[in-house]
Amino acid sequence: MIDSHIHLSYGCYDRTFTYIDLDNEEYKLVADENREALISEMKRRGISCCIDPAIDVDSNADILRLSKEYEGFIFPAIGNHPTRCIKSGLADFERVRSYSDREGIVAIGETGLDYHYDRKDQHRLKQKIWFRWLIKLADQHELPLILHIRMADEDAIRILRRYKKKLHGGVCHCFQGGPEHAKVYTKELGFCLGIGGSLLRKPEISEELEQAVIATPIEYLMLETDGPYVKPEKPEGITGKKWSKARNTSLILPAVAGRIAQLKGMSANDVMKITEENTRRVFRLIPGSTS
C-alpha cells in the first residue's frame, strides 16, 4: 500500500506521541512512540512508501530534509496550502519556485481553494492567485498536482478547466464530494480521488462520498490518511480526549481499502493492489525503491 497523503514532516511527530493503529480490524492507540518507530512499523506492516505534501512555505524545507533521511520511502511534494498562502508575501513565490527545482520532487501541492472559513477570512483572490501560479509551476516541471479543495468545487473546477492543457494529472486529496463532482475531477480533468478516514465515519457524514466511490472506476482512486488528521469514527471504549489527541497514521489504510472493497464488490487485496498501481503511475514512483 501507498499512503498518497500524510504529513510525517509535521512538528507534532518530532516528539513522542500517541498514534492510531488497526489490529485485527479494531482500532487501538499506541502511546509514547516517535517518528522513527512509527515509520519502521509502517514499513513492517506493508506501507511501501508515502507522499508528504507541503502545508506552508517553511514546511517545504522540512519535507525535503525528511525525504532525504528516508529516501525511497517519503516522497516530497512542494507547494503552499490555500489557507496558509493568504499569509505569504511576494518573496515566497520565489522560495517555492526554488524548492521545486530540487531533485526528487514528485508533485506540486498542496494547492487549491478552501472556503470553510468565514467569508471575510477566506481571502479568495489571494488563494486563486496562488492556485493559478502553482498550476503553471507544475506545468513547467511537468508534475502532477495535489489538490486541496474544500467547499470550493465550483471555483476550483472553473480554474482547472481554464488551465486544462497545463494539467499533468494528480489527485484531488481528501475528496468528500458526490458522484457529479467526482466525475468532473476524474473523467473530465484526469485527476484521481484521495480516499481516507472520511469514508470510515458515520453514514450521515460518509453517505455522499460512498456514492462517489461506487460511481468512480477503481483506476481513479488512491488511498490516503492526511495524517495526523482525518481520523475514522471514534470507536467505543476510547474515552475522553485520547482519540482527538492521537495522530492518524497509514496503519488505518487496510480499513479504508476494506470499505472501498465493500462498496465496489471486490476484494480488499485487489483494492490495495490497484490503488498502489494508480499512485505509482500518477506520481511516477519506482517499485521496490524503499530504503
Which domains can be identified in the chain, with CATH numbers? 2-283 (3.20.20.140)
Q: Assess whether pLDDT exceeds 80 at residue 112.
A: yes
Beta bridge mates, 6: 227
Q: What's the pLDDT tens digit per position in 4-13?
A: 999 999 999 9
pLDDT at 289: 47
- How far is residue 173's CA from residue 53's CA, in Å, rounded to a whole number? 10
What's the pLDDT at 290? 43
Its pTM stands at 0.96
The Cα-based distances of 111 to 10, 56, 85, 107, 132 in angstroms read: 17, 10, 9, 11, 9
Share of the chain above pLDDT 90, in %: 93
- End-to-end Cα spacing for the chain: 15
Please tell me the distance from the alpha carbon of residue 188 to that of residue 25, in angstroms, as a whole number: 36
Confidence check: pLDDT of 98 > 80: yes
C-alpha to C-alpha distance for 196 and 173, rounded to whole angstroms: 9
More confident residue, 290 or 250: 250
**Amino acid identity, residue 280?**
R
pLDDT higher than threshold 80 for residue 288: no
If pLDDT is split at 50, 70 and 90, which confidence band does 134 have?
very high
Give dist(CA 263, CA 260) in Å, integer: 5
Under the banding of pLDDT at 50, 70 and 90, the label for residue 287 is low
Q: What is the DSSP letter of 156?
A: H
What rounded mean pLDDT belongs to the chain?
96
> CA 31 to CA 19: how far, in whole Å?
7
